[in-house]
């Protein structure tokens, strides 16, 4: 039982925040790159960054929500 | 005598009730962990799309060197960790989210890491990006939709999503190249996901199979004097 609690604690403290935050930070960097170098200067060369930024943020949110829910449910049960 | 016999029976009954209650609680907690590990595994896949940050790193000599050394060090440390786990030096229980069948073989994350390393080091980003996106998103989407819609529909959805990833990466190429690359790449990703091989995990195959097929297509075109590779999708900072 103790090991389950330890795993859960480690998941909450270390893995979950990084798994959720890193993709969002990376997607913001992609979007900023597109905005500063592509949108403002009117260059279409950076459209790839825009597409990937949006893809990263949407794709991650799609799975992040049920993941956070599952942790909360598990925490309640514990 | 009768009294002590009754008392023993009651004690046995209470113990049995307590045992079954304890068993139920334990099972419930194990199920909860399993459900949680399920989403954990899914999020681990989507998290991998962040590795595309690699292509944003500046194009300078010393950074280019680090771009080779650091991924190799990361994958080498994963190999050491897995070796220690398989030898029993590290407890299997310490690894959250591992499947039962991974107890006696290298875990999926190692295969995933090796495939990403190979993509970064040996393939142009036009090939590597859609393959990585397939592993990051197509794989978990197939996994989820298979549960609700059945295998066939899940694979059709997976194919369409993979086609989309190859389309957005190659959209600047000639139309016939875009179509061919999308079909070849998406088919490779799907076969890589569907085929369960003994020594190669699907997390490895979903990236390497389309990458190899596209590499052959690219090299074949070059041999015929055709340059099919479009402009890079990600430009360094």
The 10s digit of each residue's pLDDT in A15-57 is 778 889 999 999 999 999 999 999 999 988 999 999 999 999 9
Q: What is the DSSP string of B77-96?
A: HHHHHHHHHHTTSS-GGGST
Per-residue pLDDT band for B101 (boundaries 50, 70, 90) equals confident
Residues with Cβ within 8 Å of residue B150, at least 6 apart in sequence:
none
With an 8 Å Cβ cutoff, are B32 and A71 in contact?
Answer: no
Among residues B115, B110, B48, B113, the alpha carbon closest in space to that of B85 is found at B110
Residues with Cβ within 8 Å of residue B73, at least 6 apart in sequence:
none
Distance from CA of B27 to the nearest CA of A (A): 11
Question: Quick check: is B51 in a domain?
Answer: yes
Q: Provide φ and ψ at B227, rounded to 5°.
A: -100, 105
Q: In angstroms, rounded to a whole number, what is the distance separating the alpha carbons of residues B4 and B178?
A: 85
Question: Quick check: is B210 in a domain?
Answer: yes
Which segments of B93-150 does DSSP mark as H helices, in order? 108-122, 125-133, 139-149
Question: Quick check: is B95 in a domain?
Answer: yes
Q: In angstroms, rounded to a whole number, what is the distance separating the alpha carbons of residues A30 and A39?
A: 12
Comparing B197 with B131, the larger pLDDT belongs to B131
- The rounded radius of gyration (Å) of the Cα atoms in chain A is 17
Question: Quick check: is B228 in a domain?
Answer: no
Which of A29, A59, A67 is opposite residue B53, by nearest beta carbon? A29
Indicate whether B73 pLDDT > 70.
yes
* pLDDT in the model for residue B129: 97
Per-residue pLDDT band for B18 (boundaries 50, 70, 90) equals confident
Per-residue pLDDT band for B78 (boundaries 50, 70, 90) equals very high
DSSP secondary structure letter of residue B70: H
Q: Does B2 touch chain A (CB under 8 A)?
A: no
* pLDDT in the model for residue B11: 82
Per-residue pLDDT band for B113 (boundaries 50, 70, 90) equals very high
- Residue in chain B nearest A7 by alpha carbon: B96
Tell me the per-residue pLDDT of B141-163, one tens digit each, with 9 for 90 and over.
Answer: 999 999 889 999 999 999 999 99
Question: Quick check: is B190 in a domain?
Answer: yes
In this structure, the number of other CB atoms found within 10 A of the CB of residue B177 comes to 18
* pLDDT in the model for residue B118: 97
Question: Quick check: is B22 in a domain?
Answer: yes
* pLDDT in the model for residue A6: 63
Q: In angstroms, rounded to a whole number, what is the distance separating the alpha carbons of residues A27 and B49?
A: 10
Contact A75, A12 (CB under 8 A): yes
Per-residue pLDDT band for A72 (boundaries 50, 70, 90) equals confident
* pLDDT in the model for residue A60: 93
Comparing A60 with B5, the larger pLDDT belongs to A60
Among residues B16, B137, B225, B134, the alpha carbon closest in space to that of A62 is found at B137
- Residue in chain B nearest A23 by alpha carbon: B50
* pLDDT in the model for residue B38: 83
Number of domains in chain B: 1
Of the listed ranges A51-60, B54-63, B89-98, the one predicted with least confidence: B89-98
Name the A residues in 10-49 with CB < 8 Å from any B CB. Answer: 10-11, 15, 19-20, 22-23, 25-26, 29-30, 33, 37, 45-46, 48-49
Residues with Cβ within 8 Å of residue B237, at least 6 apart in sequence:
A33, B56, B57, B58
CA distances to A44, A60, B70 from A34, rounded to whole Å, are 9, 19, 27
Comparing B78 with B104, the larger pLDDT belongs to B78
Indicate whether B34 pLDDT > 90.
no
Comparing B17 with B222, the larger pLDDT belongs to B222
Per-residue pLDDT band for A1 (boundaries 50, 70, 90) equals very low
Q: Does A65 touch chain B (CB under 8 A)?
A: no
Q: Does B60 touch chain A (CB under 8 A)?
A: no
Contact B173, B153 (CB under 8 A): no
User: How much is the ipTM here?
Assistant: 0.85
Where would I find the beta strands (DSSP E) of B145-232?
Answer: none
In this structure, the number of other CB atoms found within 10 A of the CB of residue A36 comes to 11
Contact A1, B29 (CB under 8 A): yes
SS3 B44: helix
Residues of chain A neighbouring B49 (CB-CB closer than 8 A): 23, 26, 55-56, 59-60
Residues of chain B neighbouring A74 (CB-CB closer than 8 A): 32-33, 35-36
Question: Quick check: is B219 in a domain?
Answer: yes
Question: Quick check: is B13 in a domain?
Answer: yes
End-to-end CA distance of chain A: 10
* pLDDT in the model for residue B88: 85
Range(s) of the domain holding residue B48: 6-223
Mean pLDDT score across all residues of chain B: 88
With an 8 Å Cβ cutoff, are A71 and B93 in contact?
Answer: no
In this structure, the number of other CB atoms found within 10 A of the CB of residue A59 comes to 21
């Amino acid at each position: 039982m103790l090991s389950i609690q330890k795993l859960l604690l480690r998941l909450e403290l270390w893995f979950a925040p990084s798994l959720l935050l890193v993709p969002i930070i990376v997607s913001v960097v992609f979007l900023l790159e597109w905005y500063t170098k592509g949108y403002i200067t009117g260059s279409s060369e950076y459209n790839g960054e825009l597409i990937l930024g949006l893809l990263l943020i949407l794709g991650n949110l799609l799975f992040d929500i049920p993941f956070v829910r599952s942790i909360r449910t598990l925490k309640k049960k514990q | 005598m009768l009294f002590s016999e009754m008392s023993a029976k009651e004690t046995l009954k209470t113990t049995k009730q307590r045992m079954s209650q304890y068993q139920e609680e334990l099972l419930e907690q194990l199920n909860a962990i399993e459900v949680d590990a399920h989403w954990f595994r899914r999020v681990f896949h989507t998290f991998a799309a962040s590795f595309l940050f690699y292509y944003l790193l500046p194009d300078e000599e010393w950074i280019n060197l680090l771009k080779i050394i650091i991924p190799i060090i990361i994958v080498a440390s994963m190999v050491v960790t897995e070796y220690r786990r398989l030898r029993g030096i590290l407890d299997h229980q310490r690894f959250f989210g591992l499947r039962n069948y991974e107890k006696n073989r290298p875990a999926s994350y190692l295969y995933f890491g090796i495939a990403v390393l190979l993509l970064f080091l040996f393939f142009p980003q036009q090939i590597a990006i859609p393959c990585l996106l397939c592993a990051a998103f197509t794989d978990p989407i197939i996994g989820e939709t298979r549960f609700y819609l059945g295998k066939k529909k899940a694979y059709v959805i997976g194919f369409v999503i993979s086609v989309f990833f190859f389309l957005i990466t190659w959209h600047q190429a000639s139309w016939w190249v875009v179509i061919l690359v999308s079909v070849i790449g998406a088919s490779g990703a799907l076969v890589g996901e569907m085929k369960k091989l003994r020594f190669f995990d699907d997390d490895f195959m979903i990236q390497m199979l389309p990458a190899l097929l596209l590499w052959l297509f690219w090299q074949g075109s070059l041999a015929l004097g055709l340059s099919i590779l479009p402009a890079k999708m990600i430009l360094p900072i």
